[in-house]
Amino acid sequence: MNLTDYAGNIIRLTDERLSHIREHPEIVIHTEKMNETLASPDIVIQSKSDVEARLYYKHYSGLSVGDKYLCIVVKYKEKDAFVITAYFTDSIKKGDVIWKK
């Protein structure tokens, strides 16, 4: 499956990665929010631990897990971008801001 981010980049979400993400029970009922988070993030951070990874964050209120950010980790290779994982978190990791709403 292909998703599109705020800048028009095509990001692949493989069946294998989607299966991995759905192993997190809190994410299963919110997988539709992944496209929304990529297309309209609150902030995008350059990962400090992996120069090829970007972290897309969008804050959601009233979730089954409370008020949280959905973080989607996207790996950027030379001519490819793909989702590594997605998870809910209370805070945004430190790193260089690539884009902010």
The whole-number average pLDDT for the span 48-73 is 95
Residues 24, 27, 28, 34, Cα dihedral to 10°: -130
DSSP 94: P
Q: For residue range 65-96, what is the model confidence (pLDDT) as tens digits?
A: 899 999 999 999 999 999 999 999 999 999 99
Rounded to a whole number of angstroms, the distance between the first and last alpha carbons of the chain is: 26
pTM for the full predicted model? 0.94
Domain boundaries, the chain: 2-93
CA distances to 1, 19, 29 from 25, in Å: 21, 11, 8
Tokens 């884009």, located at residue: 99
